[in-house]
Every structure is written in structure tokens, then in C-alpha cells.
């Protein structure tokens, strides 16, 4: 197989891999880099000749995998886009939101090329969607030769799939973003166990050591304890979350906590896109028993939209739990503005439940010391770090040891390290070096013959 990582910045970003297997040329995912705007946020599509792709596969709908798909599909109008049914539902909402965000960035950041795509591009993209059932081979033909693509349930977020591609008795397995553990709203990954020739594995948590006795459940208990202590002091709790997946999972966690009286009943405020996606999760759950979600959860916890009058640096008009995006507290998002309102008061707490890149405001706040001043530049507010700031390990990604033992189980001839920072990949290199596999840590934009 020929493999080229088109994510120019390396690590996790504008995920997009170009693969060639026999006569078939295809791309897995086409994302937008969350830390950049404008041309820097795009994968290097220009390397792919127009009209040359036979198909495109989408693993899931986080924007670092999906965000530039309409652009790629416009350049490759003959290529069908293969994805799960759940992703086909979620992609529509995520991409139309992405157009609105890009339109806003056009004036805010003065980037005239934005938005990169419009509603017309989305319509033509949706016409090319193919949604084969999971765990069932889907065949494509070219000049009398066949390739077989099988999507497998990957956990991580509703719709996420790992992908097995078979051509001429050779098989390549792409994990995509993957979580083996069950969540409240989603079953863990269900992957094939038979050997493969090439494994392309995500490595997101390669640099994360999990303390003994720590589990997802123990982290939920620790988080509820912190919520309790904040609410007992009549403080507010801010939980920055990704709108897709993490928000719905946290709604389910809060619903259960209220029912079991693990925390007192207080108002819960949610922000726009995540609340809309609640309806999409509800629809998806009717078609699969792997996703468990009922929109009634909003009613049962008494969720309300965020009050309009949230002013940066000022106490919000009501106390409660604020479950709002973005998860990394990116500038000018509801979580960023609310943090500027809550950080200066020791009664409040800010609880992170997902990955924060160290260079984002969320990452910086996590490393800030108590009493240190913290600048919210984008809204012109400076606050002393008085509120309790904590992180809980409720990641949507598999632990490194789980990925390692999966790799050993399916005994590939070659392993390609993917979707991870350099330290994370290094851990996998060290821990796989005694295995009889060739390990590749591909440099961006360089083509490897594997």
C-alpha cells in the first residue's frame, strides 16, 4: 500500500490520509485543524490529482476528520463517500454549523476565502453518501478488480467506525478514533480479531499514563463530588464540552446523578449546537441499539438554553451547572465567555472532561496556578484564578495499553502510527519495538510504500 499523511502539521489536526492499494486510490477522512483558521487549517488536497479518487471514507463527524470533506468531494466529484448511517445524520448538522462558523471567521479574522464551501456543495456531497450496514463487506469494482470495505463500530462518538479494507487477499485496518469502554450513551468498540497485514492505529493517549485504580466510573464519582462541594457553597459549575458526543454523554451522567440524588437539583444550562444534536442522537438511537439516547433527558434534568445576558467578566444572572461548548474553551465560545465570568470567585468550579490542547485557553487555564492572573484577551477581561479548576479523565479515546494489546492480537506485518502527538507516538514505538512488526511513524506529505 502507498500511504501519505496529508495533515501538513503532523500530530492531530486536519486528519486526512491518502492510500493506494492496487488500482484503487482513496482517502480516509478530511478534517479541519482546530487550532488554525484559513488555508493553514486545511489538509493538502492539492497533492491529489482531480477526479483521481475511487472513494472517500469518513470515520466520524468530529471536525478534525470531517471539516474539509465538502472541499475534497467538490474536487473529486466521482468518488462515493462511505460512512455509517449515524455519521450521515450527524454530518449534516455539523457541516451546516461549520459554514456559519466560517462565515463569522471571515469578518472576525479577515480571511476572504471563507467559507470554503456553501450549501450547494453540501447537497452534492450528501448525494454521494453511501451508508453500508456495519460489520458487512461493501464491494467496489474497478477494471474487473474488486476491493472490499467493512465498517466496524468504534465507540468514541456516535457513528464512529474503524475500517477494514481488503484487496487481493491483503487487508489494511484503520482504527480511526476509538474507545473500547462503554459510555452511558454509546457501546464501546466491537472490532474484528482476525489478523491483518497493515494496521493504521490512532495513538492519541500514548503519552498518558493511567494511575492504578482509576477508571471512567471512579472519575465520574470524583467529578460529582467536586460538583457537590461547589453547589453546596451556592457556586456555579462550568463544564466545557464538545457539542458532539461529550455534551450528550454529560447530560446522561447528570440525569443519573440527579435521579440518584448524588448532586442537588440545580438549573442546567446548555448551548446551541449541542442541544440541537440531542435530537439527532435521539433519531439515531431509534435505528441502532449501540446508541442509547432519549431527548426526554433535557426535560428530565430541566435543561435550559444559556441566558442571553451573559456578559464577559460579570457574574451570570443565575447560578447552576453550565454545560457548554467549546471543550477546549476556544476564544469567543460560550465556555470561554463563561469562564471569564466564573474564574474570579472561589465558590465556582471549572471542570474539564476531555482533551485540551496545551496552547488553547482551556489548556492554559489547566496549567495556571491558584491566585495567578489569567487573561481572557478576546473579551478583554483579566481574572485572578480563584475558582477550582480540575480535569477528569473521561476521554473518548482508548488507553494506550488497550491499543497495544489490540495491535498484538491482530499481529500485523506493519503498523502505521497515526493521530497522535510526537511523545504519544514515541511511547508506541518503544513498546512495539520487540514485536515482529515494521513500525512506521510517517512524516507528513511523504509517501511510504508499505
Where along the sequence are the contacts to Zn ion (CB under 5 A)?
A: 62, 64, 177
**Cell digits of residue 64:** 478534525
DSSP track, 263-303: S----EEE-HHHHHHHHHHHHHHHH-SSB---THHHHHHTE
Looking at the Cβ atoms of 202 and 319, the one nearer to Zn ion is 202
Least distance from Zn ion to the Cβ atom of residue 355, Å? 9
Looking at the Cβ atoms of 197 and 357, the one nearer to Zn ion is 357
Looking at the Cβ atoms of 19 and 342, the one nearer to Zn ion is 19
Looking at the Cβ atoms of 62 and 400, the one nearer to Zn ion is 62
Least distance from Zn ion to the Cβ atom of residue 93, Å? 16
**Distance of alpha carbon 247 from alpha carbon 243, whole angstroms:** 5
Expressed in angstroms, the distance from the first to the final Cα of the chain is: 5
3-state secondary structure of 373: strand
- Residue-wise burial string across 296-333, b where 16 or more C-beta atoms lie within 10 A, e elsewhere: ebbeebebeebeeebebbeebeebbbbbbbbbbbbeeb
Strand partners, 177: none
Three-class SS string for 384-397? ECCCEEEECCCCCC
Looking at the Cβ atoms of 67 and 235, the one nearer to Zn ion is 67
Least distance from Zn ion to the Cβ atom of residue 64, Å? 5
Pairing of strands 321-324, 237-240: parallel
Least distance from Zn ion to the Cβ atom of residue 324, Å? 19
**Cell digits of residue 365:** 487555564
Least distance from Zn ion to the Cβ atom of residue 175, Å? 11
Alpha helices in 190-333 (DSSP H): 216-232, 246-259, 272-287, 296-301
**Residue owning grid cell 490520509:** 17
Looking at the Cβ atoms of 61 and 82, the one nearer to Zn ion is 61
**Distance of alpha carbon 126 from alpha carbon 148, whole angstroms:** 22
434: which residues sit within 8 A by CB, 6+ positions away?
Answer: none
Looking at the Cβ atoms of 54 and 177, the one nearer to Zn ion is 177
Looking at the Cβ atoms of 64 and 393, the one nearer to Zn ion is 64
Least distance from Zn ion to the Cβ atom of residue 348, Å? 29
What is the gyration radius of the CA atoms in the chain, in angstroms? Answer: 22
- Which residue minimizes CB distance to Zn ion? 62
Q: To 5 degrees, how large is the angle CA 250–CA 252–CA 253?
A: 60
Looking at the Cβ atoms of 5 and 177, the one nearer to Zn ion is 177
Least distance from Zn ion to the Cβ atom of residue 60, Å? 6
Least distance from Zn ion to the Cβ atom of residue 301, Å? 25
188 DSSP assignment: P
Least distance from Zn ion to the Cβ atom of residue 420, Å? 10
Looking at the Cβ atoms of 201 and 348, the one nearer to Zn ion is 201
Give, in order, the Cα–Cα distances in Å from 360 to each of 355, 356, 364, 366.
11, 7, 6, 10
Least distance from Zn ion to the Cβ atom of residue 181, Å? 15
Amino acid at each position: 500500500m502507498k500511504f501519505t499523511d496529508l495533515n501538513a502539521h503532523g500530530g492531530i489536526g486536519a486528519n486526512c490520509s491518502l492510500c493506494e492499494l492496487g488500482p484503487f486510490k482513496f482517502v480516509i477522512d478530511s478534517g479541519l485543524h482546530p487550532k488554525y483558521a484559513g488555508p493553514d487549517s486545511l489538509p493538502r488536497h492539492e497533492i491529489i490529482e482531480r477526479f483521481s479518487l475511487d472513494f472517500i471514507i469518513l470515520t466520524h463527524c468530529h471536525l478534525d476528520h470531517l471539516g474539509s470533506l465538502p472541499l475534497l468531494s467538490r474536487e473529486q466529484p466521482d468518488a462515493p463517500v462511505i460512512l455509517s448511517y449515524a455519521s450521515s445524520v450527524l454530518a449534516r448538522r455539523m457541516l451546516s454549523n461549520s459554514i456559519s462558523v466560517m462565515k463569522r471567521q471571515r469578518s472576525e479574522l479577515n480571511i476572504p476565502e471563507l467559507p470554503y464551501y456553501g450549501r450547494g456543495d453540501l447537497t452534492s456531497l450528501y448525494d454521494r453518501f453511501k451508508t453500508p450496514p456495519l460489520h458487512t463487506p461493501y464491494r467496489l469494482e474497478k477494471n474487473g478488480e474488486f476491493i472490499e470495505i467493512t465498517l466496524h463500530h468504534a465507540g468514541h462518538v456516535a457513528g464512529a467506525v474503524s475500517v477494514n479494507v481488503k484487496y487481493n487477499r491483503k487487508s489494511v485496518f484503520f482504527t480511526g478514533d476509538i474507545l473500547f469502554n462503554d459510555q452511558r450513551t454509546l457501546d464501546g468498540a466491537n472490532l474484528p480479531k482476525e489478523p491483518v497485514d497493515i494496521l493504521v492505529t490512532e495513538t492519541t493517549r500514548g503519552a498518558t499514563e493511567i494511575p492504578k485504580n482509576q477508571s471512567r466510573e471512579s472519575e465520574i464519582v470524583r467529578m460529582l463530588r467536586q460538583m457537590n462541594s461547589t453547589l453546596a457553597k451556592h457556586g456555579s459549575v462550568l463544564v466545557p464540552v464538545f457539542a458532539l458526543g461529550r455534551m450528550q454523554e454529560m447530560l446522561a451522567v447528570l440525569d443519573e446523578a440527579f435521579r440518584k440524588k448524588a448532586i442537588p437539583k440545580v438549573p442546567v444550562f446548555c448551548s446551541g449546537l449541542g442541544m440541537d444534536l440531542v435530537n439527532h442522537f435521539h433519531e439515531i438511537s431509534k435505528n441502532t441499539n449501540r446508541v442509547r439516547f432519549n431527548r426526554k433527558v433535557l426535560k428530565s434534568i430541566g435543561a435550559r438554553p444559556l441566558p442571553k445576558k451573559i456578559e464577559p467578566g460579570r457574574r451570570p444572572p443565575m447560578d447552576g451547572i453550565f454545560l457548554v461548548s467549546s471543550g477546549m474553551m476556544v476564544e469567543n465560545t460560550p465556555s470561554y465567555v463563561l469562564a471569564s465570568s466564573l474564574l474570579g470567585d472561589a465558590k465556582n468550579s471549572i471542570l474539564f472532561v476531555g482533551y485540551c490542547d496545551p496552547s488553547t485557553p482551556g489548556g492554559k487555564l489547566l496549567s495556571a496556578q491558584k491566585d495567578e492572573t489569567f487573561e481572557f484577551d478576546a473579551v478583554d477581561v483579566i481574572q485572578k484564578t480563584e475558582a477550582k479548576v480540575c480535569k477528569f479523565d473521561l476521554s473518548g479515546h482508548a488507553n494506550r495499553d488497550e491499543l497495544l494489546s489490540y495491535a498484538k492480537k491482530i499481529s500485523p506485518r506493519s503498523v502505521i502510527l497515526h493521530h497522535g502527538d510526537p511523545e504519544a507516538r514515541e511511547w508506541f514505538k518503544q513498546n512495539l519495538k520487540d514485536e515482529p512488526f515494521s513500525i512506521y511513524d510517517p512524516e507528513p506529505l511523504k509517501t511510504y510504500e508499505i
